[in-house]
Amino acid sequence: MRRGAHLHFITSPDPPQGAPSGDFHDSTRGNRSLPTPRALATGAHLRQNGAVSADIDALDAEFSTLSPRRAVARALERFGEDLVISFSGAEDVLLVHYAAESGLPFRVLSLDTGRLHPETLRFLAAVEERYQLRVEVAFPQASAVEDLVRAKGLFSFYRDGHGECCQIRKVEPLRRHLAPRRAWITGQRRDQSPGTRSTLRPAEHDPVFLGKDGPLIKLSPLWSTTSAEVWDTIRALDIPHNPLHARGMISIGCEPCTRPILPGQHEREGRWWWEEGTKKECGLHTGGAPGPE
């Protein structure tokens, strides 16, 4: 098994920003100034550099022709240690499988919000066992969680929306862990949310997060894959999956904000069901952070 290859990334401490990192030294790093909060909120940081835009257009054109399996391998070839695969504890395990198949070293990042189902945590451990890797788990800042709970209680999101809690438990820790990277892979698909993901591209600048060189590249190899195709592949390859799917939970997040859906309902209707469909993102994939995801 490629245990050593996988652990190469996991056990190597992250270099300080701007410092070279062994075999993955990138001569393009420098002291580029990061965008202001206003530029970040308006997306101006993505438009100000024509070369960067041209690069992302070329990347998008290339990745739009690749199968999900090939797209994962190509991303690992191109970005190496500067890339992280996001794993949400759901069917995006397929991306981890493709990465393992590639034979290339890779790193996997997941979030433990403190409100996950125990089944999701056990599933994460099962994935580590199956693929002989250690998932990099990001946790929220304890003081921020304590302040929120002290001020508003444990279930404030039912009263005033999930934005604030998601910002503390998801967006901030992910921002911290993505900052040293140049690109990340997500399991997003267009068919996951007609309200928020219908314009998803296979490669784009992340509307929320910055990497070490400025705009972070977001790659979504499953962008045009349907839910049925993902599940057909998971079953055919006999890949471990979250047992909550068998209980009618299709889109799986935190325990208080996820519920089973009925036949005919869209998968996203099981998330934040007390809110409008257009707000069913947690802030990880929408511009203008902070705000509802």
Active-site pick, 165, 166, 254, 282: 282
d(CA 244, CA 90): 9
Of the two residues 94 and 174, which places its CB atom closer to ligand SF4 in the complex? 174
170 binds ligand SF4, rule: CB under 6 A = yes
- 254 annotated active-site: no
Smallest separation, CB 235 to ligand SF4 (Å): 27
> Binding pattern to ligand SF4, positions 220-259, x when CB under 6 A?
---------------------------------xx-xx--
The pairing of strands 214-219 and 136-138 is unpaired
175 binds ligand SF4, rule: CB under 6 A = no
Q: Which residue is nearest to ligand SF4 (CB)?
A: 254
Q: Token pair of 84, please?
A: 């992280």
Residue type (1 letter), 137: V
166 binds ligand SF4, rule: CB under 6 A = yes
Sign of the four-CA dihedral 224, 281, 182, 140: negative
157 binds ligand SF4, rule: CB under 6 A = yes
Residues 6+ apart with CB under 8 A from 126: 240
Question: Which residue in 51, 50, 26 sits closest to 182, CA to CA?
Answer: 26
138 binds ligand SF4, rule: CB under 6 A = no
Which of 74, 117, 169, 175 contacts ligand SF4 by CB under 6 A? 169
Would you list the DSSP string of 148-178? HHHHH-TTTHHHH-SHHHHIIIIIHHHHHHH
Which of 86, 88, 113, 233 contacts ligand SF4 by CB under 6 A? 113
162 binds ligand SF4, rule: CB under 6 A = yes
110 binds ligand SF4, rule: CB under 6 A = no
Give the dihedral of Cα atoms 152, 154, 160, 164; nearest 10 deg.
Answer: 90
Yes or no: say if 216 and 205 are a contact pair by the CB < 8 Å rule.
yes
282 binds ligand SF4, rule: CB under 6 A = yes
| Active centre residues (catalytic) | 282
Which residues make up the interface to ligand SF4 (CB under 6 A)? 113, 115, 157, 162, 165-166, 169-170, 253-254, 256-257, 282
